[in-house]
Structure 1
């Protein structure tokens, strides 16, 4: 059930900001962004910092790789809003929509590097089963992924397991293709920090 707070529970200055964003972008602010403005002291500010670091902080993974991880985790969680948002963002980051679609359709035959494939496989298992084994981690390391890259990927996984659950619990409104593309453009330009 969608709480009314996502529609009207904001201070006047925040409502004005939402109106300005809609005016300039031609699209309403997605619910994921609205959520961080509600109770920013409790959730929003911490979530923005953590997600910004996971998605745009220094890493051997590219922005496109991390956005693809977000889309893949979201797909494992069957979170429709987040699948749409991060599929669009990964496609724009890579400038290669078919590559992103190939991964989400069939990871094993997708045209990606083996290290990324092994990492996505591990993130999918962790998301679906809530556990991975030492053997799973050895497979990722054997594919040439560093320990730091594993930590970075786990941060992405954590951020989106939380976000996916919030998106589904708060019944985030699905966007049309134009809305997801506009959100992707914003995320690639401004990141997750606001």
Structure 2
């Protein structure tokens, strides 16, 4: 359901802010930012803080690896906006061909085994959460994932379980590849705070 308020803003101040940011950036302000600015109680400071901690907080996973995890969760949740946004950010810290290959088939992509094991865990957590068990965690540990890394990967999976669903529910506009790339610069440099 696409809300007109997300497109135009519900108040003059919001409409002016949308227009200003779009003019300065040279692109349409992405819907994720529009939602955060339109209704800060829904998707503002709390969600931004949670996302920033999962994606840029202290972790043995690099920001690029966590962005790739987010893109994979988005793929499993059929969220084209988040696939485009987070794969565009991931390529700032990892080979674009590796990002593409991982999205195509993470089981055969040339990624480190601990990352592959974390993705196996995240896929089950995303697609079949009722059947995640201690044996799934043990399999990740046996592949070289530490407890902290598994917790951090699960945090990425949890926050993007929410974000992908609201992006799909609100019918986020899908920017062009060029606009995703342009917007990704800010996320890569500043994070989600």
Normalising TM by the smaller chain, what interval?
Answer: over 0.9
What is the TM-score when the length of structure 2 is the normalising length? 0.95
Residue 168 of structure 1, CA deviation? 0.5
Q: Report deviation, 1:12.
A: 3.1
Match of 1:114 in 2: 113
Deviation at 1:172, TM superposition (A): 0.2
Mean Cα deviation higher: 170-179 or 85-94? 85-94
**Does 2:78 correspond to 1:78?**
yes
| Residue 38 (structure 2) pairs with residue 38 (structure 1) | yes
CA contact 2:117–2:140 (8 Å) conserved in 1: yes
CA distance in 2, matches of 1:16, 1:59: 38
Whether 2:147 is the aligned partner of 1:138: answer no
Q: Take 2:42 and 2:171, find their aligned partners in 1: how far apart are those partners?
A: 20
Q: Deviations over 1:161-186 (max 9, x none)?
A: 10100010000001101111011111
- What does 1:25-174 correspond to in 2, within 5 Å? 25-94=25-94, 96-131=95-130, 132-174=132-174
Deviation at 1:35, TM superposition (A): 1.0
Distance (Å, rounded) in 1 between the aligned partners of 2:3 and 2:41: 19
Counterpart of 1:187? 187
Identify which range, 13-22 or 173-182, moves more after superposition.
Answer: 13-22
Mapped to 2, the partners of 1:55 and 1:172 lie a distance apart of 21
Which runs of no fewer than 5 residues in structure 2 stay unpaired?
A: none
Task: Check whether the contact 2:73–2:161 (CA below 8 A) recurs between aligned residues.
Answer: yes
SS in 1 for 2:44: helix
Distance in 1, matches of 2:115 and 2:90, equals 14
- Is the alpha carbon distance of 1:155 and 1:124 closer, same or farther for their aligned partners in structure 2, counting shifts above 3 Å? same
Contact conserved, 2:85 with 2:180, CA < 8 A, in 1? yes
How far off is 1:129 after superposition? Answer: 1.0
Q: CA deviation at 1:14?
A: 3.1
Gaps of 5+ in 1: none
